[in-house]
Amino acid sequence: MDVIGYLGPEGIFTEEAAHRLSKKLIPFDSIIDVLDAVKDGKVDKGVVPIENSIEGPVGVTLDLLAHEYDLCIEREIILKVDHYLLANRGVKLRELTDVYSHPQSLAQCHKFIEKMNLKGHSTSSTAAAAKIIKGKRRSCAIGTLKVARLYDLEILAEAIQDYSHNMTRFLAIALHDHEFTGFDKTSILFTLAEDRPFSSPFFTFLG
C-alpha cells in the first residue's frame, strides 16, 4: 500500500482526498513540504489542492509545480466540499460574534458570515481554527465533520458555503507518471511571447 503525504493537519479536506488513495497517510505543514517529501522519496505520492470551483486556482501549488519541481501529476481527485459551523457544546448561534477558519473556507462561506454578522479571522487550517475556539463561548469555526469530532465541537449549521456545488480539485503528485489508460488528461505548461497577464500556467484537457 502506498504511503501518501498530504497537506495537513489531520481533519482537513486534503486528508479526505488522500484517503481515497491509501490508508497510510503522513501530514505535512506546507505544500512545499509535501512536494519535497515526494522528491526525496520519503512518500510514494503527495496530495495537494490545486483548484476550487468558487475561489479558483491555488496559486502556490501552480507556481511550485511550474517553476520549482520536476514532478508528475499522477492523478486528480475531485472532492465535494461542504462546510460546517462548529462551536463549543451548549453554545447558541445567537451568542456568536467571531468566526475562525482557513482563508479559502472563509471566502467560500462569505454570504453566511455576512448574514450572521460574524467577524472573520484567518487561520492556517480549519483544524487550527477549531483548536483556537476551544473554550471561547462567543467564537466559532468553519470546518469539517472530522474536525468537529477531533475537537469535540458541536455542529450549529450545515453546508454553509455560498454555493452548494462547491468542488475542490486535488492532485496526486509522484516521481513517475501513471501507465497510459486511454482515458487520461494532459496538463501543458507554456509561456506567452508578450509580457501580459494570464489566468493560469496550466491547461488541462482530455488526451
- Given a cut of 70, whether residue 135 has pLDDT beyond it is yes
What pLDDT does residue 41 have?
94
Rounded distance between C-alpha atoms, residue 173 and residue 132, angstroms: 31
- Eight-class DSSP state of 115: H
75 and 136 fall within a common domain:
no
- Residue 73 sits in a domain whose CATH number is 3.40.190.10
Helices (H), 120-174: 126-133, 145-150
Residue 186 has pLDDT above 80, yes or no: no
Antiparallel, parallel or unpaired: β 56-57 and 202-206:
unpaired
For 33, the domain range is 3-80+165-206
Claim to verify: residue 65 and residue 89 sit in the same structural domain: no
Same domain? 171 vs 151: no
Global pTM value: 0.76
**Model confidence pLDDT, tens digit, residues 44-72:** 999 999 988 877 888 888 888 888 888 98
Same domain for 95 and 68, yes or no, is no
27 and 60, same domain (yes or no): yes
Number of domains in the chain: 2
